[in-house]
Structure 1
């Protein structure tokens, strides 16, 4: 089969090259249709009960994550001129398209009792900014006495205040969101420039804006870095610009295919799918290394260019197909998850890794058949003395000290297992940005001064229509809100109860001591005023459903992490809910973007662990089909499990938490690292047939021929993935640093542990009654071919 395929590729090379160019042109055309994703990733499945409830909540009360907060903590803001400019900034923000509302100190409204109509009216506190500083100071002091805004907009203890900008829901998941946030920042930066007052920013719209801008910048940077790094390493190995240019051109074609595939599947560019092009560059180059290294070895032996090109298709084709398939499996298993972003990432990456094999198998022999054969200068890497010394040393090590290798591996496994036991699963809403970043520093500002800005919602179903009008129900809710307000990392709750308490303060001429629910003496007077309240589109609509049965309690909390939030909700808040509402008809449900995000991360980790297990069994099945030998399957898996355990141990000892970005590493790294084992075992199988099933010689020859390519590709993979450590996102840094480390460890275990295992446990015998799949392809055990490979480089010789 592979012999015929080699003939077809070389005879029809021009047609095949033009066909691939045509497909690439089509993909480039489709790539123009690819769009960036501006939606918050849906991690929790749509069918999840909590997700269904949250969607119902948003349908009833609106979006909970559409507020951009601007923080100020500078006494200079209360100077008349600066305060006037703050009012001007507020007005300018309100005029921006898709800005729904702006709430700030200069735009503050107060409830005024209208005795004639027996109703409350909303009036601006600052109809104009007074030029007299004393008058301004008295108005600010008045604002601080309004308990409704205390902790929400003002910190009365240190003078910090916020400007809250609400963005229309319709643009939150579109490109227009970035335009709106960009316009907001332009206005606020002008205020900062004219006053010298520093501003702080937080809120999901701002965080998502910053993430999108940084992601776009980094993805382009990583693509350039991956091309530069892999190209440079290729040149060091092969000393040929032709090799570098052809290899990078082929990978460039696949990058175009990636973008075209995204368009064909109608997927958008997300943080994950955006990483695929540089990953393809890094993963695709090893194909070229193995094929070109074999091409150079063959040409070095007999000087026949066409025969050498035929050989790389015949001898490397089937092995490269299997290794690319196992690599693709590491990504494709993500398609079995219930998470859309992971499915898209897995499908696009897996499909294009397989496409990389097809394009490489056609383009490398076809293109090099048009080029001049490699010169002696280009073949020097085959006789690279330092590398030869390394391989000789490894050969001696595995033959003479295999039991020391087993002992060292066992010690490492035990230590790694202990490290793994120390790993904690923990994630944050703003998890990926470094602690010293401005976004994290600003977030800390809001947590220190306003208990945070992350949204948490509580819905209280009173059980009856117009239950909100029951003073008994309101007192229960007020008791609950008082408890919530006493908690650390939780802001003062905001609800219709807060509004009613504010009306009582207004009824008593803004006396702060009267900020409480009406009592039996004054409730009839206050409720008479409230009955004439016409604010149907304001407080009532935002915090009470249309039937008056459900009440929304809105909180802002600090980004305390998944573990602490879980304790806060389940061990602190929920028991209090049971205590206060347990004997009533009222039902209390906690929801919100923050809660769903944390649950999504837990769900994501569970799915990634499942995908890792699936990848493990699929790759084990591939080994079973190839070898039909349980012992060989175990011997293949051991050197690839050890690196994963080392990485897990490092995470535990270093305090790196298990979160989506770190859990993703294991299935990807396992799929890639097992390639080295397949290459080694395929060559080992060839050498067994070529050397009368004498294991020591087969191991030595396999180590010497495949060792160089394994080292070359591992170096490329290491430096290719380590570039992601330059990211500003912690998840991408983890992906780069831990994946590169895992692959480096996998190279060592496949060069040391795997040969030692074969020497100790494989007898080299062949079952004449069982013919595994690997024997059905003569490319794996063509003795005549193998006798010609690197004989002058083999130190173990026949004594005859």
Structure 2
């Protein structure tokens, strides 16, 4: 098959090059329509009870994560001039197309008792901003006495305050969201410049805007860096601009295919799929290294360019396909999950890794057949003395000290297993942001002064129409809210109870002591207001559904992480719910974006662990097809499992938590690292046949021939992935550093442990009548040596005489 394929590629090389260029042009055309994802990924499946509760909440009360918060801690804001400018800023923000509401100190409203209409009406606290400082101070003190806002908009202990900007929920998952945030920032930055007062920014709309902006910048940076780094290393190895240009052309074609694939499959660029172009650059280079290294070896051996080109197809076609297949499996298993972003990432990556094989297998032989043969300078890397010394040292190590290799490996495994036992699975809402970033510092500001801004929602279903008007129900909710308010990292709850308390305070001329639920004497008047408010759909209706049956308790909290969040919900809040509402007359649902995000990360990790297991099984099955020898399967897998153990051990020992970005590493790294084992064992099997099944010689020759390519590709993979450590996203940093470390460890184990295992456990005996798939790489009986002899090239010396 591969002999035929080599002939076809050479015969139709021009047409194949034109075909690939045509496909690339088509993909490039499609790629211009690629879209960025603005949707907050829901990784919890629709059938999950928590997702059902969240959807029901949004149906009744709308979006919970559409508020952008601006924080201020500066006494200068209470000066008349600056306070007036704060009011102007609030008005300008309100005029932005896409902003629903702006709540700030200058725009505060109070409930006023209307004696004639027997109801309350809303009036501004600051009808106009006074020019007199004493008058302004008096109004601010009055505002601080409105208990409804205390702890919500104003911190009464230090004067910190917030401006809350509500964005239309329809824009939250569209490109318009970024336009709105950009307009908001234009106005707020002008305010900062004019007053010298620093603003702090938080809220899910802002965090998502920052993440999207950083993502776009980083994708361009990483794509450029990956090309520069891998290209530079490739040039150092081969000292050839031709090799470099051919490799970059191949990778460039596949990168265009990646973008085109996203469009054809109707996918968008997400945090994961956005990483694919630089990842493809890094993963695609090893194909070039192995094929060109083999091309140079063959040409160095006999000096026949066409024969060398045909040989790289015939001899390493199947093994290159298998190695690309195992790498693709590491990604494609993600398509088996129930999580859309993982599924899309896995499908696009898997398709284009296999496309990389196809493009490499056609372009390298076809293009190099048109180019001049490599010069002596280009072949110097085959006799690179430092590398030769390294391979010699490795050869001696596995032959003379294989028992030491086993002992060291065992000790490392024990330490790593201990480290793995220390791993904690924990994730945060803003996990990816570095501690020193301004965004993270701003979030800490809100956590310190307002207990955080991450939304958490609790829905109380009274199971009765207009159950909100039952005073006993309200008292239970008030008791529950008092408990929630006592938790340090949770803000003061906001619900219809808060509004009812505010109406009572307003009824008694705004005296703070009357901020409480109505008693038997005044409840009729106040509940009459509530009934009107619910019917008319004003402020209170945002916290009561249309039937008056469900009550929303809205909280803001600190980003405490998945472990504490799980403990808070199940060990703190839920027991108190059971105590207060334990009569089964209520249904209580804890929900919200924060809770779904935390649960989503746990769901992600579970799916990634399962995908890792599936990848392991599939790759083991591929090994079985290749070798048809159980012992060889085990020997192949062990050196690739140990790097994963090392990575897991490192995570536990240095305190790197298991989260989606770190869990993703294992299936990807395993799929890539096993490539070296396949290359080594394929060559080893050939050398067994060529050297009378004498294992030591076969191992030595395998180290010599495949070792160089393994080191080249591992170095490229290491530096290719380590560039992701320059990211501002913690998850991307972890993906880069841990994947590069895993692949480096895999190179070491495949060059030490793998040959040591062969020397210790393989007797070299093979049944010549059995022909497993791996025998298609290379020609095991050296058919290349038995090719037809061109008689025209034989010259006979006429002076030669027969003795």
User: TM-score surpassing 0.5?
Assistant: yes
Q: How does 1:110-509 map to 2 (within 5 A)?
A: 110-509=110-509
Structure 1 range deviating more: 434-443 or 779-788:
779-788
Change (3 A) 1:641 1:584: closer
How far residue 533 of structure 1 moved from its aligned partner, in angstroms, is: 4.3
Number of corresponding residues: 787
Structure 2 partner of 1:35? 35
Change (3 A) 1:753 1:522: same
Change (3 A) 1:363 1:534: closer
How far residue 767 of structure 1 moved from its aligned partner, in angstroms, is: 2.9
Rounded to whole Å, the distance in 2 between the matches of 1:681 and 1:324 is 16
Rounded to whole Å, the distance in 1 between the matches of 2:405 and 2:538 is 72
Structure 2 partner of 1:19? 19
What's the CA shift string for 1:56-98, capped at 9, x where partnerless? 2111100000000000000000000000000000000000000
- 2:134 is paired with a residue whose SS is helix
Change (3 A) 1:477 1:784: same
Change (3 A) 1:423 1:341: same
CA contact (8 A) 2:319 2:774 kept: no
Change (3 A) 1:748 1:787: farther
Rounded to whole Å, the distance in 2 between the matches of 1:786 and 1:505 is 99
Q: Indicate yes or no: 2:775 matched with 1:783.
A: no
Rounded to whole Å, the distance in 2 between the matches of 1:523 and 1:575 is 30
How far residue 772 of structure 1 moved from its aligned partner, in angstroms, is: 2.2
How far residue 583 of structure 1 moved from its aligned partner, in angstroms, is: 1.4
Gaps of 5+ in 1: 789-800
Rounded to whole Å, the distance in 1 between the matches of 2:678 and 2:572 is 53
How far residue 501 of structure 1 moved from its aligned partner, in angstroms, is: 0.3
Q: How does 1:508-527 map to 2 (within 5 A)?
A: 508-527=508-527
CA contact (8 A) 2:683 2:778 kept: no
Rounded to whole Å, the distance in 1 between the matches of 2:785 and 2:750 is 22
Structure 2 partner of 1:704? 704
Rounded to whole Å, the distance in 2 between the matches of 1:684 and 1:4 is 25
CA contact (8 A) 2:469 2:527 kept: no
Rounded to whole Å, the distance in 1 between the matches of 2:769 and 2:370 is 45
Change (3 A) 1:770 1:299: closer
What is the TM-score with the length of structure 2 in the denominator?
Answer: 0.97
Structure 2 partner of 1:797? none
- 1:740 is paired with a residue whose SS is helix
What is the TM-score with the length of structure 1 in the denominator?
Answer: 0.97
CA contact (8 A) 2:682 2:778 kept: no
How far residue 534 of structure 1 moved from its aligned partner, in angstroms, is: 7.4
CA contact (8 A) 1:686 1:783 kept: no
Change (3 A) 1:534 1:323: closer
Rounded to whole Å, the distance in 2 between the matches of 1:253 and 1:489 is 51
Change (3 A) 1:787 1:221: farther
How far residue 784 of structure 1 moved from its aligned partner, in angstroms, is: 4.6
Rounded to whole Å, the distance in 2 between the matches of 1:450 and 1:494 is 13
What's the CA shift string for 1:11-37, capped at 9, x where partnerless? 110000000011001101110111000
Rounded to whole Å, the distance in 2 between the matches of 1:608 and 1:651 is 16
Structure 1 range deviating more: 194-203 or 40-49:
40-49
Structure 2 partner of 1:752? 752
What's the CA shift string for 1:611-648, capped at 9, x where partnerless? 00000000000001111111100000000001000000
CA contact (8 A) 1:114 1:120 kept: yes
Structure 1 partner of 2:109? 109
How far residue 773 of structure 1 moved from its aligned partner, in angstroms, is: 2.3
How far residue 539 of structure 1 moved from its aligned partner, in angstroms, is: 2.3
Change (3 A) 1:243 1:737: same
Change (3 A) 1:744 1:90: same
Rounded to whole Å, the distance in 1 between the matches of 2:31 and 2:47 is 32
How far residue 50 of structure 1 moved from its aligned partner, in angstroms, is: 1.4
Q: Indicate yes or no: 2:671 matched with 1:686.
A: no
- 1:553 is paired with a residue whose SS is strand
Structure 1 partner of 2:50? 50
What's the CA shift string for 1:204-236, capped at 9, x where partnerless? 000000000000000000000000001100110
CA contact (8 A) 1:118 1:528 kept: no
What's the CA shift string for 1:160-196, capped at 9, x where partnerless? 0000000001110000000000000110010000000
Rounded to whole Å, the distance in 1 between the matches of 2:687 and 2:704 is 12
Rounded to whole Å, the distance in 2 between the matches of 1:782 and 1:293 is 21
Rounded to whole Å, the distance in 2 between the matches of 1:49 and 1:567 is 18
Rounded to whole Å, the distance in 2 between the matches of 1:703 and 1:650 is 28
Structure 2 partner of 1:791? none
Rounded to whole Å, the distance in 1 between the matches of 2:769 and 2:322 is 25
Structure 2 partner of 1:627? 627
CA contact (8 A) 1:685 1:780 kept: no
Rounded to whole Å, the distance in 1 between the matches of 2:378 and 2:771 is 40
Gaps of 5+ in 2: 788-803
